[in-house]
A and B are shown apart, each in its own frame.
Chain A
């Protein structure tokens, strides 16, 4: 009995602590999070209903900022650019990453070497990549220019840094910077597929393409959804590459949502309008993120 109560005693103590203790352990994290994320965000939402130049008194403006936003062609252009960036990076980051991962997993040797070489850009700050590529792209001919002329996107041959096609250049540079990340992501998933499975399929006469299409791809579905989610939400948050690669002359046609928010606040001192844009972008990203994560949780995990 004695021994039992000795065990019981600390237990009941813990039980009591259970109610308060864990909450206390979350509290510091929550406090920092509320102070530096929730409070500023609420303030942004409040500001979006005001007119404010950042210095003088704030005046209540109701939904005027949002109404103005609905008719703003630059904003529409910015969102379109975000979408173009999103679609191109789905190829230049995610698909290229998948392709590279699928090729590397088939190598007998040098796997580590290729993974290392292909993921080096991941470590480099986007600001640095942007400056480096700005210099490099200014010195190599724009080989997609004839194609763009034929498609009617531009009327005469352009350089990579031309404002009209800057979004394309940035998307490609973004592919350079991030395809290594998706390569690592897919590699981890592909490595978990046992080699016997591939051998068995090959013995049965499957081509490498069939092997990829019918055996590997279905197994990558859940990680693929995660990659899609990351690429999508990332596409509507892009800032660094656009800001630095465009340089001080960021033209309206190469604007994206994030640069638009910053420009309205810093250059035009329209803090209220800038806040309204930010709120709309957040709503958009969170909605997309939510819908896609629902998709992820529903995607059935296939395992071998």
Chain B
């Protein structure tokens, strides 16, 4: 029984990791080698493909775009979401429940229903093809998740805390900024990680809100898709580019795995 259990788990782990190992090995081969012997080991270990792909795909600029967009989105979201979550959790607001319900509907909203209207909107606002065109919608779309997590977290803090803060003469803002927010490290890390992953990997909006006229501002998912479309026959560059693209995510994951796995599971528990 125990042996069967381990065998299934090892097999599953192998299926999960195999494509990534194959990717890394293929990234060191030439296109001809990949075509002829897709599953053989590379003839020699070389980083040439990576350097070439980095240059041809202009990865430096796209990494910068992704970093700016993700950091701004996460930062803005943590601030606005925690404020709103705090207000929802600790105060009775007229129409608050209805408002909260509206936010929650947006949790399941298919993004394709607003992507083209968003494109028109950013053109009206004059921010099309620029980073703010992505940051605004990302903050708005992830807002329901942030409010949900922060609300459940702040609601679990005992009432005495709030009363103490009042007796000490805190006003509303101080109560939020000095008392409640510093206690919310756990909620902040859950929201931060989930939103960062979602934004870093988001494709549909990234592809249309920063269009082909502003390639240099595109974030990684859209840029990589374009790179792939243009270089379909240069398999060595595609595999090397793919490795460059996913390496940071995997590295971050291995470094913070405990926090991340806990966040992913914790978010749904609320």
Contacts and interface: CB of A to CB of B under 8 A. Distances in A.
B43 interface: no
Q: How large is the interface on B (under 10, 10 to 19, 20 to 34, 35 or more residues)?
A: 35 or more
A233 B250 contact: no
A120 B20 contact: yes
A188 B265 contact: yes
Nearest to A292: B108
Interface in A58-89: none
Contacts of B115: 262
A185 B16 contact: no
Nearest to B133: A36
Given A40-B118, A120-B253, A281 B113 contact: yes
B20 to A, nearest CB: 7
Contacts of A40: 114, 117-118, 120-121
Interface in B101-138: 103, 105-118, 120-121, 136-137
B143 interface: yes
B12 A258 contact: no
Contacts of B17: 117, 120
A139 interface: yes
A72 B15 CA distance: 39
A282 B110 contact: yes
A9 B143 CA distance: 36
Given A41-B113, A240-B204, A185 B171 contact: no
B269 to A, nearest CB: 6
B200 interface: yes
A47 B12 CA distance: 47
B250 A117 contact: no
A135 B242 CA distance: 11
Contacts of A133: 19
Interface string A173-201: 00010001100110110000000000000
A11 B172 CA distance: 11
B246 interface: yes
Contacts of A206: none
B83 to A, nearest CB: 4
Given A135-B235, A239-B204, A258-B112, 17 more contacts: A36-B118, A36-B141, A40-B114, A40-B118, A104-B9, A116-B257, A118-B16, A131-B238, A136-B22, A139-B39, A185-B268, A223-B268, A236-B110, A239-B112, A258-B204, A262-B112, A282-B109
13 contacts: A28-B83, A44-B114, A104-B9, A118-B12, A119-B264, A120-B16, A123-B260, A135-B26, A187-B265, A240-B203, A262-B115, A282-B109, A286-B109
Interface of B: 1, 5-6, 8-9, 12-13, 15-17, 19-20, 22-23, 26, 38-39, 76, 80-81, 83-84, 86-88, 90-91, 93, 99, 103, 105-118, 120-121, 136-137, 139-141, 143, 147, 166-167, 169, 171-173, 176, 197, 200-201, 203-204, 208, 220-221, 224-225, 228-229, 235, 238-239, 242, 245-246, 249-250, 252-254, 257-258, 260-261, 264-266, 268-269
